[in-house]
Amino acid sequence: MKWRDADFKNGIEKIKAVLIYGQDAGLVDEYSDMAIEKLGIAKDCLFALDSDELREKQDALFAEACSPSMFGDRKMVMISNAGDSDAKLIADLVTHSGLCATVVITAGDLRTGGGLRTLFEGADDLAALACFSDDAKTLTTLIRNELSASAGIHQITPDAMEYMVAHLGGDRGITRGFLAKIALYVDDKRIVELSDVEKCLPDTGAADMDDFLYSLTAGHIQQTMRALDRLFYDNKESNMLIRMLIMHFKKLQNAVVNGQLPRLFWKVEDKFKRAMKIWPESEITNVLIRLNELERQLRTTGMPAEILMRDFALKLSLRAAKLSTKRRN
């Protein structure tokens, strides 16, 4: 069955297994943590593994999932970063007659009709919860609620809100982290202004991130690599950079397909329009596939993340430069 937020909060204690998936990796993590908390899972009653370990640890997985806790406590099995290629093994697990544990599966964006979604959406004792990126409306509500609840901040100037909405929203974890920082910065002033947000940018990397994203999609190779240097100098992790790239190209994909601009901060609007002219839908789709593959490589190959990220950024900016030249000709 398909779930929404309220279904998850009210039904997680009654369900056999749940698939939590979507483009907002931070929100996926948030719901998986919520499942552990709501079910009261003790540390020694949680068996967690990545999808890359499924075949290697299949026997251990089924043994943990199908054996009761020694002291009668509730157990959970959590499989992270699953894909449709894992659907058969996961189906065998969640339909096993001896299943004793609640099973939580987390995944990125999954296609409609794929193996995992078909399995979890089509059964009454299984559920699928989609985690979509916040749009302007839900993000505005989140910003107001978070700042009000955590810091008693009830005033946000319109330009500050516009800037935050334009730069946040693709990853709930990143959004909450930024809001915690801005609340500490504002402190007793109890009002968030644009200057406050801009002064906090070095902590979030938003200025350098914008430079990196838009230089890359425009095919400005040297500027792309300099911006990436600054992000690594500020200790930005490659996984976070990949998430931001995925968010950026998904936003670009939606704009190209629908022919409509998303809500953007005015400083980057022209750059986004240029990117729409350079990147056709087929090329964007290929980039998203390559980004998912890069994310897998970071988890499995053991190669230095920074080297993989630099190689990817260089090749992608070269491709953008070629597409830009082709468009002009």
CB contact at 8 A, 32 and 106: yes
Query: What is the average pLDDT score of the chain?
Result: 87
Q: 206-328 — its CATH code?
A: 1.20.272.10
In order of 50, 76, 290, the CA distances from 300 in angstroms are 10, 24, 15
Band of the pLDDT at 329, cuts 50, 70, 90?
Answer: low
Band of the pLDDT at 203, cuts 50, 70, 90?
Answer: very low
Q: The whole model's pTM is what?
A: 0.66
Please compute the mean of the pLDDT values over residues 250-256 and round it to a whole number: 90
**Domain boundaries defined on the chain:** 2-130, 136-202, 206-328
Render pLDDT for 291-307 as a digit per residue (tens, 0 to 9): 988 988 887 777 888 99
Q: How many CB atoms lie within 10 A of CB 316?
A: 21
Percent of the chain with pLDDT over 90: 47
Show the tokens assigned to 309.
């990220």
Q: How many CB atoms lie within 10 A of CB 33?
A: 10
CB contact at 8 A, 220 and 317: yes
Show the tokens assigned to 106.
């987390």
> Which spans in 99-169 are helix H?
115-121, 136-151, 158-167
pLDDT value, residue 207:
66
φ, ψ of residue 164 in degrees (nearest 5): -65, -40
- The residues, any chain, with a CB within 8 Å of residue 166's CB and separated by 6 or more, are 263, 264, 265, 268
| 202 pLDDT above the threshold of 60 | no
Please compute the mean of the pLDDT values over residues 241-270 and round it to a whole number: 85
Q: How many residues does the chain have?
A: 329
Render pLDDT for 66-105 as a digit per residue (tens, 0 to 9): 998 887 789 999 999 898 989 999 999 999 999 999 999 9
- The residues, any chain, with a CB within 8 Å of residue 144's CB and separated by 6 or more, are 156
Q: 2-130 — its CATH code?
A: 3.40.50.300
Residue pointed to by tokens 């959004």: 175
Dist. CA 145–CA 139, nearest whole Å: 10
Class of the 136-202 domain? mainly alpha
pLDDT value, residue 328:
65
The alpha carbon torsion through 177, 178, 179, 180 (nearest 10 deg) reads: 50
Show the tokens assigned to 273.
């329009």
**Nearest C-alpha neighbor of 20 from the set 143, 113, 103:** 103
Please compute the mean of the pLDDT values over residues 151-159 and round it to a whole number: 87
